[in-house]
Every structure is written in structure tokens, then in C-alpha cells.
Amino acid sequence: MRKLWLLIVILLLGFLGWRWFYPPQAPQITAGTAAGRQDDEIKVLLDSMDRVAGFPAQEAYQPIGERPLFFSKRRPPPPYVPAPPGKKPPVRPPRKVGKPRIQLSAVIIIGKEKYALIKGGRQRNSRRVRVGEEVDGWKVTSIDQGKLVLSNGSESEEVLLRNYKPVLPVKTPPKRPVKNTKNNNAVKKPAPRPAMPKR
């Protein structure tokens, strides 16, 4: 068994030494010759297709280009016409964005950095924002201790910190003594006597 392992180790070391002194070299391909050779091969293939019997003439394949298979209307797309250099595409009016539907959970102030912890909107999970970031199309303009100010062009919206109402204790009415409606003349059982100590 040891001889087998020794033989495997010797073969492995010999292979690694051979690769160390004679590393494999990557094939070198020049782009110009490969492209020219590929064009020549395509021409040879097309010429051979013309000579092979059984193939229709090239005019028979013209409807394939006129009615492309992978277009829904089976018509080729219109040719691309670039826009004149002087004209600019029309500017679309800014899309109206509704009021932000977010809740301000907390305001974090660390030195000069201010962060707001918000919840709701397009992203359901809680996230942290700071001044300059965008929230559902609104830009955060300022963060104060109790509010977050968002702006959208000329409009501005304030989101106040969630104010939890204090939970008041529930008042319970005082317990009234329960009247015994049973017969008060019932015979009361005597209390049990204590056990006698063992001698």
C-alpha cells in the first residue's frame, strides 16, 4: 500500500515539475486574419449553397425579411430617422406626486449629522433618511427634533413625530360586599381539634 502512495506522489511531483519548466502557452490569434478567414468561409458556404441542388433561389427567401417572424404584426420596424440637430425633444411637464404617506418614527442627531427614521410610503419597511435624499418623489429639506420637512418644487409638507397618547389606567368601580342570600340559621361546623403529640 505504501508503494502505491509513493508512486502516486512521485508521478504528481513529476507532473508539477514538468508544468513548472514548460508552462502551457495561450494560442495567439490575430484579429485581421480571423475576420478575413471568416468572411471567406461565409462566401464559400453561400457559393456552395447555390451549387447544391434542391435549394430554392435567393428570391424565395425575400418574404422572410418582409414578414419577420419575431414581430407581433409581422412587419419590419420603420427605419430610424435621426432628429434634426437644431431641435430638442419636448420637455415633459413634471409628474404630479401625491402627498407623502409616511410616518416619522424617530429623529437621530449625532453631532452635526441628523437622520430621520421613517416608515410607510412605497417601501413598507422602516428606513433612515437624511437631508438631500428623496422619499417617494419628495426631497428631504430639513430635519428637526420633532418634525421632518419635505419639498416637491413649490410645495412643502411637514411630517410631525408620532405623538403617542399616554395610556391612562382604567378606573374600576369599588367592590361592594356581597350579600349572603343563603339561610343564616344554618348550623356551623365546629373547627377541627389540633392533633395530639405522640409520646
Q: Which residue has the cell 419636448?
A: 90
Whether 139 and 150 have beta carbons less than 8 Å apart is answered as: yes
Kindly state the DSSP code that residue 112 receives in the 8-state scheme. Answer: T
Higher pLDDT among residues 66 and 196, named by residue: 66
Q: 135 burial class (0-12, 13-18, 19+ CB within 10 angstroms)?
A: buried
Distances in Å between the Cα of 192 and the Cα atoms of 112, 189, 195, 196 are 79, 9, 9, 12
Q: Are 133 and 148 in contact (CB under 8 A)?
A: no
CA–CA distance, 107 with 83 (Å, rounded to integer): 50
Cell 494560442 -> residue: 27
Cα 68 → chain centroid: 36
How far lies 46's CA from each of 52, 53, 187, in Å?
Answer: 10, 13, 123
Question: For residue 191, how far is the Cα from the chain centroid?
Answer: 77
For residues 33-45, average pLDDT: 71
- The residue extents of the domains of the chain are 102-160
Question: Once rounded to an integer, what is the mean pLDDT over residues 33-57?
Answer: 70
Confidence (pTM): 0.35
- Is CATH 2.60.40 the classification given to domain 102-160? no
At residue 179, the pLDDT reads 65
* pLDDT, position 11: 93
State yes or no: pLDDT of 56 exceeds 70. yes
C-alpha cell at 123: 417601501
